[in-house]
Structure 1
Amino acid sequence: MATATATAPPAPRKGKGRAGSEEAHRLMPTPLLATLTTLLCLMVLIPVAYIVLASLNSDAGVASGEFWPSSFSGESYTLIWSTVGLSKALVNSLIVAGSVAIASALLAVPTAYVLVRYAFRGRVTILRGLLGFQSIPGTLMLLPVFVLFSSIGSTLGIAIIGTLWGLFIAYLTFALPFSTWVMVTYLRGLPRELEEAARIDGASNIQILARIIFPLSGPAIVVSGIFAFLLGWNDVLFASVMTRPDTHTAAIALQVFGASMEGGAIPVYSQMMAASLVCAAPVVILYFVFQRYLVGGLTAGSVK
């Protein structure tokens, strides 16, 4: 009778263990890494701390150069709603930036799916065009976009310049190529077996998009949506020439407020700092809410 002999697994080699492996792969010594990390954190945290402290100080105290307020007060956070007119500007920014984020993310998924899963003439040219479009500076596109929108508005007899939907179209023009490229990169990593199994069960292309591609593309949709939101939220160039006072965004409201208060006897630095923090709050909240989607992958373990 033949007997099977089991070979004992080799004994683990003695070494420094996991800590030694991590130390071997570290690119720089621990003291140097700690020093550089501390310096980078200080470079970021000190300006943020100054902005927070200045927003809780008086305008005269900030103008005199106080880093630590002599008396804390939240008066600036109540004054900015009347001096800056921030409420209307924040609503406009949320409408435009939120619409751009949602539209670009939703339109990018089917566009990228066609570019990744189907072969047709001009497909590579479109992909290269999406990548090359990102290298065009926005300053070069400002005048052509303005003239184009003015001409279309004059021809059709409708107002485009000065409206929120006109600004939405302008931002979507720049956000959609980036979102599509992000989705193309992501969908290339999705296994085709999931779609093939759905087709065997009789699913159509629309059902595959709705029930498989969209749910599994959550992280990429969030990433493209956040970048599109930041494009509309932080932009000053296009919003400065394509809006009027009642359609100003938050960035333009801050710019106008700072320019109008420069010649005052006491610059309202405290109110400017408070307004800046209020305008930055939605972006910070957005990152905190969706940070797990930014670093996570929903397709892990989907195919055994």
Structure 2
Amino acid sequence: MKVARNAVAVLIALVVIFPIFWMVLVAVKPAGEIQSLHQRPWTVRPSLAAFRRVLTVDDFGRYFLNSVLVALVVVVLSGLLAFLAAVAVTRFRFRFRTTMLILFLVAQMMPVEALTIPLFFLVRDLGGAVPGLGLNTLGSLMVVHTGFTLPFAIWMLRGFVAAVPEELDEAAQLDGASRFTVLWRILFPLVAPGLAATSVFSFIAAWNDFLFARTFIISATGNQTLPMALLVFFKPDENDWGGIMAASTLMTIPVLIFFLLVRRRLVAGLGGAVKD
């Protein structure tokens, strides 16, 4: 039985890894092998020409920094707001609390494509009232992605906050700690694994976004994000698949680095989420 489980696990791992393997393989293949009708899962003449083409794209570094800025701001904002909201819906009893939680779930069910056009007009109008949050700004991407990641983050963190006994809060308050101290000195460190788990989701959602970046960043090319750089390699006559895969490989590296930085807390966070 154990051998069968291990075999199934290995098979699933191979299925998951194969697209990544093929992406990297195509990125290092020479153009002749990519265009060949007889594809092979290896290459005897690896080349870094595709990576050189990607790195020489105009403003590629700016696109990269824009993506990093948007993703990090979304991680911080969504984590902070989700933590405060999770404490509110867990520690306090108020009217319509259950209704609010249900609305969080409903918000997760809405398809992104159905909300893109309404969000476009909302962001356009928001720019007239709040400079820096309108169309052609990175602030618009930060606000929209934070809003989309909040429902999931609140639901996930709610379980971690509920797992912390309320007696700890009461004991700290009896010792003279303020509610602010209880919040940041007791609750926040204990739910850090949950924050790590939600931060990975928030980072990936903001980092890989193409739809919102394409919709909200219309004319300000200096504010475009990294997924927009892929459009350079899509050509009317023939797509540069080597460049596309090389750019995709480079886009994957920051996600892996972020995952490695939070992996220990992420494992604990996922375990806590399942336990809850």
TM-score, normalised with respect to structure 1: 0.80
- Quote how far apart the aligned CAs of 1:175 are: 1.4
Matches within 5 A, 1:177-196: 177-196=151-170
- Quote how far apart the aligned CAs of 1:45 are: 3.0
Q: What's the counterpart of residue 232 of structure 2?
A: 257
Q: What's the counterpart of residue 248 of structure 1?
A: 224
Deviations 1:118-158 (CA, angstroms, capped at 9, x unpaired): 11222222222212211111111111111112123346677
Q: Is 2:197 the partner of 1:220?
A: no
SS of corresponding position for 2:109: coil
CA distance in 1, matches of 2:33, 2:126: 51
SS of corresponding position for 1:162: coil
Given that residues 104 and 176 in structure 1 are in contact (C-alpha distance below 8 angstroms), is that contact kept between their aligned partners in structure 2?
yes
Structure showing greater radius of gyration is 1
CA distance in 2, matches of 1:80, 1:250: 11
Q: Is 2:98 the partner of 1:124?
A: yes
CA distance in 1, matches of 2:262, 2:62: 26
Matches within 5 A, 1:32-181: 32-64=4-36, 65-83=39-57, 85-154=59-128, 160-181=134-155
SS of corresponding position for 2:56: helix
Q: Is 2:175 the partner of 1:201?
A: yes
- Quote how far apart the aligned CAs of 1:59 are: 2.0
- Quote how far apart the aligned CAs of 1:68 are: 2.3
Deviations 1:202-235 (CA, angstroms, capped at 9, x unpaired): 1111010110011111101111111111111122
Given that residues 126 and 133 in structure 2 are in contact (C-alpha distance below 8 angstroms), is that contact kept between their aligned partners in structure 1?
no
Given that residues 86 and 154 in structure 2 are in contact (C-alpha distance below 8 angstroms), is that contact kept between their aligned partners in structure 1?
yes
CA distance in 2, matches of 1:223, 1:58: 39
Given that residues 29 and 242 in structure 2 are in contact (C-alpha distance below 8 angstroms), is that contact kept between their aligned partners in structure 1?
yes
CA distance in 2, matches of 1:292, 1:57: 35
Question: Which stretch of the first structure deviates more once superposed, 57-66 or 269-278?
Answer: 57-66
Pick the structure with more helix per residue: 2
Q: Number of residue pairs matched?
A: 266
Q: What's the counterpart of residue 289 of structure 1?
A: 261
Given that residues 146 and 242 in structure 1 are in contact (C-alpha distance below 8 angstroms), is that contact kept between their aligned partners in structure 2?
yes
SS of corresponding position for 1:83: coil
Amino acid paired to 1:259: F
TM-score, normalised with respect to structure 2: 0.88
Given that residues 59 and 271 in structure 1 are in contact (C-alpha distance below 8 angstroms), is that contact kept between their aligned partners in structure 2?
no
Question: Which stretch of the first structure deviates more once superposed, 209-218 or 45-54?
Answer: 45-54
Report percent identity of matched pairs: 30
Deviations 1:3-29 (CA, angstroms, capped at 9, x unpaired): xxxxxxxxxxxxxxxxxxxxxxxxxx3
Q: What's the counterpart of residue 21 of structure 1?
A: none
Given that residues 84 and 257 in structure 1 are in contact (C-alpha distance below 8 angstroms), is that contact kept between their aligned partners in structure 2?
no
